[in-house]
Structure 1
Amino acid sequence: MTMTELLVTPLENSKFGAKITLPDYTNDPSKLNDEDFQKLNNALLTYSVLVIPNQENLTPESQHSLNIKFDPSSASNYGHKEELFHSKNSILAKDGKCVPRRPEVMMVGNGTFEAGHEGMKEFTLEHPVHKTFHKKLLSDEELANNQTRFYRWHIDAALYELSPPVVTTLLGLVIPKTNEKMKIIYDDDSGEMIEVAKGATAFASGKVAFDLLSDEDKQFALNTTVVYAPHPYIFINDCKATSDGLTIVSEGKEKSFDELPPWEESKLKKLPLVWTNPTTGNNHLQVHGCCVYQLIDSNTGKIIYEMEDARKKVHSMMRPAISPNNIYCHDWQKGDLCIFHNRGVIHSVTGELNENDKRLMHQCNIASGSDPKLL
């Protein structure tokens, strides 16, 4: 069967997400004609997460080009400044390596790979695991029982100087050969549990998060701005996260501002707590809970919550959206390309991979030319 037009199929048993079947004239989504690309873009803004199978031959150049098509205002650099992203003092330091000829595309995964991939010498990637970032750790018995955690729920964004990317593309090239399932048991009084594929990427919808708020909290969110700390990933480098990966446990371990690299007040990111979807008009509760510094009144600029209480407030607002029936956890197959609306969802790594679980993915997000607008 051949497809003469791009086909969008909503994911079953999920509140968001869709599978994309490309038309028969190309297997490279960056080379879609204008009409089909517009359909793809509308699908992204409608369903938030798109999955295109059989993309193992997609080049870094095409992946980068695809990202720019979604946001022509994109800068020519990765969503983070390289010297800060890989700073030894940043929690992101080990999160990936750049493709040499197309540094906006980051290699992420797990294991050691021989020389030759995209011009690289031998290189090693490290899958993020909760042991390096969470305050309360799973016991050896729990790990032996195939338990895992959401590592860190986040938006792909520098959250200082650079504007949040509109879209992230994530391509699975080497996938561990396993049908193993892992369990996430929510470490609270909810009694909730979800079974996920080993190494699944979890997504939570900002629209769902907003819709689940009380009327009072909706009004609060619509009139609130999030202030992020300067160089936030260095600011929280010594901190530990809550067990659900939504935010930081406040223990006074943040770096003082004078310990950070040079920063300017004008480059601090002050972003609305609610971002409006340009296609659907839906409100999306969008916040990086681990990097929150203050919540302020959008109309007056008055501080509503300082850091510790801001974290607690954000956690209470986002927690319902990561319940099992509200999230989508992608079970990776070789060649899967996930395209997700970085201004419409948050996402998290899951899974405990060992040294034999080789995984290689190409990830691309590019700083936008403008911030989400205040309502």
Structure 2
Amino acid sequence: MPSAIKDIRVQPLDHGPKSNVDFGASVHGIDLNNLTDADFDIIHEALHKHKLLVFKEQPQMLTPQNQYGLTRRFDPDETTGGFAHGVDPFLTSHNGVDIFGLPFRPAVPVQPQVHILGRGEVPENHYQFPPGFKVKGIDHREFHLPPHMSAEEREAGKSRFYQWHFDGSLYNIPPPRVGCLLAVRTPKGPDVRVQWDDGTGTEMAIAPGATAMVAGSRALELLTPELREVVYNSKIEYAPHCFEWMSTAHSTRLGHSIETEGLEKPLDKLKPWTKDKICTYPMVWKNPVTGEDSLQIHGQGAFKLFLKSSPDGEETVIDDLGEVRAYMHKLMRPVFEPNNIYAHKHEEQDVILWYNRALWHSITEFPESYGPRIMHQCNVAASDHPVAARPIPS
């Protein structure tokens, strides 16, 4: 008998008539644990078209090995297979098995490019982790500018965007092409209300533990024509070891930039770095399959701006951090309105895959009483650094 023909369906997500979100699709009929070359061809085309794919109805939980295999296939020229943020430090050991990573991002021993994110206790006998092992959750009180939300407000369902970003170390290592999240355990409870806390009074109801996303193409579209020309011709230099550099500073309450208080870790106190490994990226990146352009900028890591209003125009260098951040705010803030944001509600055993070079995302907080949020995340350093959507003369 001939083999059965798969019923594979890629359906664009319905965001409703009041939404400006134009990305995302659900995928049915592909078993990611038994991925074929034909399946991957469909995924590759669909991901670049829709930028976010949600894989529904997985027969079994995606294994870390297969999650890594799926993620790595998007970059066949990448040979090291390394984690996008570099080598993990030693964390703990159990039954002779060393576990690497950070308390909020431990690596899965059987596939160390896959990390556990979220908050709370991992399931019993979970990939060689010790009994009762808990993942330390993110907490805006440890990073955001005061005043913070009280414990009572948080338990009542108030939330924040923790950090708007695309994945990448922003130093030496090229940012991943794709990101992949598997929902192992999800919090259970009513929607939370995300607070902008930037003086505008803006808020948004989302599912607890949702991953919020915006499209860089929409951010680009919202700029004035004059600003759009600038970003097409301009570059950002990111701080060396920028996450260590910003670790002693405060994020804005919206999670898109750093407050200029002089609290950044001095450059001579960072772990060793060299100028040749500093990342300087164009502001606008092109989708290699669809040709769509996206404003891809990381407001928190920005250290210096090289601004030009035309290819042959005079370059203005901005190296005052306050001015850098004010300019980044001008570019980023317009897209942060509820009708431009998709907050993905994770359902256990579902997998989401996104094009990391076209979307920005942020984790969101939820009440501790809602239970654990345990996610497997995989992103792999790319073989190439991003190039400008239009050539920028040196």
Q: Which residue of 2 aligns with 1:96?
A: 105
Q: Which residue of 2 aligns with 1:294?
A: 304
Q: Which amino acid aligns with 1:210?
A: L
User: What SS does the corresponding residue of 2:306 show, helix, strand or coil?
Assistant: strand
Q: 1:272 to 1:85 in 2, by over 3 A?
A: farther
Question: Could you tell me how far 1:251 is from its partner in structure 2?
Answer: 0.3
Does residue 361 of structure 2 align to residue 347 of structure 1?
yes
Structure 1 residues 69-78 or 211-220, which shifts more? 69-78
Quick one: distance in 2 between partners of 1:171 and 1:10?
Answer: 20
User: What SS does the corresponding residue of 2:326 show, helix, strand or coil?
Assistant: helix
4+ residue segments displaced more than 3 Å: 83-86, 139-142, 188-191, 297-302
Quick one: distance in 2 between partners of 1:340 and 1:231?
Answer: 25
Quick one: distance in 2 between partners of 1:72 and 1:85?
Answer: 29
Does residue 58 of structure 2 align to residue 58 of structure 1?
no
Quick one: distance in 2 between partners of 1:99 and 1:144?
Answer: 30
Quick one: distance in 2 between partners of 1:144 and 1:104?
Answer: 33
What pairs up with 1:127-142 in 2 under 5 angstroms? 127-136=137-146, 137-140=148-151, 142=153
Q: 1:149 to 1:79 in 2, by over 3 A?
A: same
Question: Could you tell me how far 1:238 is from its partner in structure 2?
Answer: 0.7
Query: Quick one: which of 53, 78, 84 aligns to 1:79?
Result: 84
Q: Which amino acid aligns with 1:100?
A: P
Quick one: distance in 1 between partners of 2:318 and 2:126?
Answer: 50
Quick one: distance in 1 between partners of 2:12 and 2:70?
Answer: 21
Residue pair 2:179, 2:378 contacting (<8 A) in 1 also: yes
User: What SS does the corresponding residue of 2:40 show, helix, strand or coil?
Assistant: helix
Q: Which residue of 2 aligns with 1:109?
A: 118
Question: Could you tell me how far 1:249 is from its partner in structure 2?
Answer: 0.5
User: What SS does the corresponding residue of 2:352 show, helix, strand or coil?
Assistant: strand
Q: Which residue of 2 aligns with 1:120?
A: 129
Quick one: distance in 2 between partners of 1:140 and 1:32?
Answer: 48
Question: Could you tell me how far 1:144 is from its partner in structure 2?
Answer: 4.7
Give CA deviations for 1:313-359 in whole Å, capped at 9, x if unaligned: 11221112121000110111111101011101010011234166112
RMSD: 2.2
Q: Which residue of 1 aligns with 2:340?
A: 326
Query: Quick one: which of 43, 46, 51 aligns to 2:46?
Result: 43
Q: Which amino acid aligns with 2:178?
A: V
- Report how many aligned residue pairs link the two structures: 364
User: What SS does the corresponding residue of 2:159 show, helix, strand or coil?
Assistant: coil
Question: Could you tell me how far 1:53 is from its partner in structure 2?
Answer: 1.7
| TM-score in terms of structure 2 length | 0.87
Query: Quick one: which of 65, 72, 95 aligns to 1:68?
Result: 72
Residue pair 1:200, 1:329 contacting (<8 A) in 2 also: yes
Q: Which residue of 2 aligns with 1:227?
A: 237
Question: Could you tell me how far 1:47 is from its partner in structure 2?
Answer: 1.3
Q: Which residue of 2 aligns with 1:19?
A: 26
User: What SS does the corresponding residue of 2:219 show, helix, strand or coil?
Assistant: helix
Question: Could you tell me how far 1:309 is from its partner in structure 2?
Answer: 1.3
Residue pair 1:206, 1:346 contacting (<8 A) in 2 also: yes
Question: Could you tell me how far 1:267 is from its partner in structure 2?
Answer: 0.3
Question: Could you tell me how far 1:164 is from its partner in structure 2?
Answer: 0.3
Q: 1:9 to 1:332 in 2, by over 3 A?
A: same
Q: Which amino acid aligns with 2:49?
A: T
Quick one: distance in 2 between partners of 1:348 and 1:73?
Answer: 28
What pairs up with 1:97-246 in 2 under 5 angstroms? 97-113=106-122, 116-122=125-131, 123-136=133-146, 137-140=148-151, 142-178=153-189, 180-246=190-256
Structure 1 residues 116-125 or 348-357, which shifts more? 348-357
What pairs up with 1:254-333 in 2 under 5 angstroms? 254-297=264-307, 302-333=316-347
Quick one: distance in 2 between partners of 1:305 and 1:256?
Answer: 15
Give CA deviations for 1:128-176 in whole Å, capped at 9, x if unaligned: 1211111031245543542110010111101111000000000001122
User: What SS does the corresponding residue of 1:319 show, helix, strand or coil?
Assistant: helix
Question: Could you tell me how far 1:302 is from its partner in structure 2?
Answer: 5.0
Question: Could you tell me how far 1:37 is from its partner in structure 2?
Answer: 1.9
Quick one: distance in 2 between partners of 1:61 and 1:186?
Answer: 38
Q: 1:124 to 1:163 in 2, by over 3 A?
A: same
- Looking at CA atoms only, which structure, 1 or 2, has the larger radius of gyration? 2
Q: Which amino acid aligns with 1:147?
A: K
Percent identical residues: 33
Q: Which residue of 2 aligns with 1:89?
A: none
Consecutive unaligned residues in structure 2, runs of 5 or more: 16-20, 92-100
Q: 1:30 to 1:365 in 2, by over 3 A?
A: farther
Quick one: distance in 2 between partners of 1:372 and 1:284?
Answer: 12
Quick one: distance in 2 between partners of 1:84 and 1:118?
Answer: 19
Quick one: distance in 1 between partners of 2:225 and 2:140?
Answer: 34
